[in-house]
Amino acid sequence: MEEKQTVLIDDNALDLFNARVDELIDTKNVVDMEKFIETFDAFTPVFEDNFREAEFHYMLGNAYSLLYVPQLNEWYNPNLNKVLIHFKKALNFLKKRNSDDEYQITLTSQIETNYGNYLSQQGRFMCAKRHWKNAIKLNNQPIAHTAMYDNELYLSRCISYDEPKAIYHQFLAYKSLCERLKFPNNQAYFNDSHHIFDDEKTQNFKQWFEEQYTLDHFKQLYKKHDKELSKKEVNYLHWCGKNNLFIDELEIDELPKAIYPDSLSLPPNSDNKCTTHG
């Protein structure tokens, strides 16, 4: 078997690749995207450093996201993993670089946002939320705020049978929307600007929420637990919240001593060993 030729992928090549992927995604040109991805089978790419290799995998992840749209594929289709694998590789190469400069922060934030967006398309909202939060924490990523707004609002409709929880998700959606509105309405720079600033449904939701509620209405969600908790119990709840172990979709994790709703309940805070009986 003939060994593939190695080709150095430099900044100029990455710029061309990214421009081509953006063009094909914008036009939804699946056929040409398949041909574009196949070109990388003809050689072995090499890179100057981890940052450029991360850029390459991020580009491929975006490219595959056009080919394997979750809504158009069976949930068990293994090809759906190709997008996530390349996003994971991109994040891992950035971790190896171990830098916190502006370029690293910006690229990591973009990857985390698109990673979350793709998980959300698969219906994996709780998994996606963690990536959007990472992007927001890194550089207050506006697109991540929009994704949080859309998905919290969608989730509130899905659980409309449970009014208190639905209202809380509307509250989270409203907070995310307000954070996004702090950024300029620049459609050339932000591809979500029309949706946030000019969409009638978005404006109607904001107006409706402000007419229905005040922020004081939600302070009760962060009150301390009614009963006196021991230090051990408080530390246990804090540890569970920090490690995202709460099953409930509310994920009220802002305060260590907040009420932590949990649909399936937490295991008991006990030293007793679990046993099974035959």
Domain limits, the chain: 1-124, 140-221, 223-273
Model pTM score: 0.80
pLDDT of the residue at 275: 37
Residue 63 pLDDT exceeds 50: yes
pLDDT of residue 3: 79
Taking each continuous run of H as one helix and of E as one strand, the counts in the chain are 11, 2
Instruction: Specify the pLDDT at position 86.
Output: 97
Mean residue pLDDT across the chain: 85
27-46 burial by CB neighbour count: b if 16+ within 10 A, else e?
Answer: eeeeeebeebbeeeeeeeee
> In this predicted model, what pLDDT tens digit does every residue of 110-168 receive, in sequence order?
999 999 999 999 888 888 999 999 999 999 999 999 999 999 999 999 988 988 889 98
pLDDT at 232: 83
Q: For residue 240, what pLDDT is reported?
A: 74
pLDDT at 70: 84
CB-based burial label for 250 (10 Å; 0-12, 13-18, 19+): middle
Query: What is the rounded distance in angstroms from the CA atom of residue 139 to the CA atom of residue 113?
Result: 11
**What are the C-alpha distances in Å from 246 to residues 93, 228, 237, 258, 262?**
30, 21, 9, 13, 6
Helix (H) or strand (E) holding 44: strand 43-47
148 contacts: CB under 8 Å, gap ≥ 6? 129, 132, 136, 172, 173, 176
Residue 271: per-residue pLDDT? 46
Instruction: Label residue 261 by pLDDT band (50, 70, 90).
Output: very low
